[in-house]
Structures are given as structure tokens and as C-alpha cells.
Structure 1
Amino acid sequence: MSCTLRVRWILIANRFPRPWRSCSRCGTQRAFECSGKFRLNANGRRLDAWLVYKCTTCDDTWNHTLFERRSTRDIDPDLLSGLEANDPALISRFAFDVAALRWVAHRVEEFAGGVARREVLGERPDRPKRLEIFLRLPSPVSIRLDRLLSMELGLPRARIATIAKKDQLQTTTRLNRLAVNGTRVGIELSQECGETILLNATRDPIVHCARESELAVD
């Protein structure tokens, strides 16, 4: 049996990104928060759609354009029904589109997140000597990899850096860069802190996934 324990961490942002724009009521740059609602306007067979934002200071609204003057025949029926129902998954899809927000905002304030779900992949060895972590980010999460590992493994960032310098920690993303979807982290479980790392890496919420094929990051 392999002596490597493989786990997948699924990270969820704790709030939507906030675009900073000039607020017409405040008269200065303000952060705007997603309201969780779409606005639609029909003009004949043409449709406009916006995601509504509110100023965090005065509640003035700003409509983030999703599309304009689009023929209803060209709109996917599922998309249209989601817009009409203010579907939360669709709200999340557009609210986390940071690239689109940057085109229309002075800057975009992104937020950190945490591990919402942990999954053991494959069989769990009795005495693992190595831990492999696979990161899945359904939406962008603004957190450095070293900070994420420090928070989730219960070790100071300086300790994380020391382990890396000893070649006991390998990553596909640099520790001082933002964690990204598909990042892989390998850690040799030394006697000094291996038990702490192992305990925190697999603490609740945890799900067991028996198939090795689930190592794929989607």
C-alpha cells in the first residue's frame, strides 16, 4: 500500500469581490457590493441584462452590464430563466468574474476564503509518510498559498517556509503567490510536526472518495 495520503481541499471565497467606482451620490470612489439581483429590460425582441450593485456607503445602485440589445432567440433558455429567477449560482458566476469587473472599475477588492470541504482521495494509509494536497477553487479566492497552508495546517508561515527550504514541501505554485485552481502541494511528514499537519489537513469537513480517478481537478 502507498504511504502517501492524498486529499483535495475545495476552497470557497467568503464574499463576492467588490468593484470600486465613482459613486454619483457620494462624489468619490466607493466600494460597491453585489445585491444578489439581476435587472432585465426588454425592448421588443431585444434584451438588456445587468447585475445590480449597491454603494457600501450610501446604497446608491450601479448596474453592471452583462449584455445589451441581445436577441431573445440567441439567449440560452437556461440562462434566461436563471436571470429571471435571480438564480444564486448564476449570480455567483457573474459576481466572481473579476476580469469583467476590472474593465469597468477603478479597482476590484478581492477577499480571502477558506477550505469548505476536504476529501480523502483513494485509500487512506495507516501511517502516511507523505501528504499531497490538491486545491480546487470553483471561484477565485484571493489568498497567498503560504498563508492558506499556515491557516489550514496550524503552522506559522515562517515554519512553512523552513519546511520548504529543507525540500520537505514542494508546490506547483510559489508560496508567495495566490493559490490557484489545480495547485498541488506535497509535504514530507516529519516526526517534528507531521502529526499536526496530518490532523489539520484532514479535519472536518471531510469526505472519503474511494476512486483514484477523482484526483482530476475540474
Structure 2
Amino acid sequence: MWLLVRCVSCDRTSKLTVHERAPVRSFDPAELHGYRVKDPELVASRLLDPLLARRNRFTLDWTDAWRLHTSSARLDEAWPIQVEVVFEDPVAVRPERLIAQGLGLSRNEVLRRIKCDIPLRRPTSAGFTFTVIAGD
């Protein structure tokens, strides 16, 4: 079973192997139906699967695919400020860059003022919480 995909950057179409040759009755009927009706959620979940990407030698380009929605709270008011980040889609971003852009801080300032349980310089696609501490 394959997915035909088109690259939006170069407009090239590729065939990605999702399942090797197998009898149709060996597939889950709900999954098979999803492929037949071109279910967007099923297609998206397959394209986001790192094993499929590795097997078919492709990567997704997440450049400009995200933004941080922040409230109008000012960073010079009550301290510390607790912030929760939730992803609607599993877009891999570096928390350091996301926080810097969303809060209007330099990346060095992010490293000084942000306390977080995950590494700020390592890409993540899972939600996380961080605390902003007062600046000097």
C-alpha cells in the first residue's frame, strides 16, 4: 500500500510505501476503509510517523509551520509566570526558538530566564510547561 504525496516546495510527486505487499484481508478493516476514502487524519498520522519517514527517506519541513499564541500579559508584571505549551499538531520545534519568538526575548535571555524540565535546545513535538523568571 502506498501514499502518493506532492512536495509543496518542488512540486514533485512521490510514492511512499506504507505497507509492503500483503493480502487485503490482513489489514484492519477500519484502516483499510480510511485508505480507500482518503481519510485526511489517517494520511496525516502516517506522514508524521518517524518509521515511515525513515523507511521512505523523507523529512517534513516545519519551517514557518508554527506560531506561539500568547496573552497580552506583560513580562514585567507578576513573577514568576508559568506557561503551558500545547501542540495542535506534532510540529517539531526547539523550545528555545519558540519561546524567544513568542515572548519577544533574545535566545540568550530565554536561556537565562526560562526554567523548564525539557532541554530548551533539543527539538520536541510534545507539549511542555516552563516558568519565566524576572529579568535583571
**TM-score scaled to structure 1, two decimals?**
0.49
Q: Which residue identity is paired with 2:62?
A: F
Measured in 1, the distance between the counterparts of 2:60 and 2:125 equals 17
The match for 2:121 among 171, 176, 180 is: 176
Contact 1:50 1:65 in 2 (8 A): yes
- Measured after TM superposition, the shift of residue 145 of structure 1 is 1.1
Q: CA deviation at 1:57?
A: 4.2
Match 1:141 to one of 78, 85, 91: 91
Bigger helix share: 2
Shift of 1:131: 2.5
% same residue = 23
In structure 2, how many angstroms separate the alpha carbons of the residues matched to 1:88 and 1:63? 17
Relative to structure 1, the CA distance from residue 142 to residue 82 in structure 2 (aligned partners, 3 Å threshold; closer, same or farther) is: same
Q: Which one-letter code corresponds to 1:114 in the other structure? A: W
Taking the aligned partners of 1:87 and 1:93, their CA distance within structure 2 comes to 10
**Does residue 108 in structure 1 map to residue 53 in structure 2?**
no
Unpaired stretches in structure 1, ≥5 consecutive residues? 1-48, 119-126, 164-168, 194-218
Do the aligned residues in 1 keep the contact of 2:117 with 2:130 (CA within 8 Å)? Answer: yes
- Structure-1 separation of matches of 2:80 and 2:55: 43
Match of 2:53, SS?
A: helix
1:186-205 aligned at under 5 Å gives the runs 186-188=131-133, 190=134
Please state if 1:130 is matched with 2:89: no
8 Å contact kept, 1:110–1:141: no
Residue number in structure 2 paired with 1:72:
24
In the alignment, what sits opposite 1:156? 106
- Counterpart of 2:132, as a letter, is I
Looking at structure 2, the residues matched to 145 and 174 of structure 1 have their Cα atoms a distance apart, in angstroms, of 8
Count of residue pairs brought into register by the alignment: 129
| Counterpart Cα distance in 1 of 2:106 and 2:51 | 32
Question: 1:94 Cα shift?
Answer: 1.0
Larger radius of gyration: 1
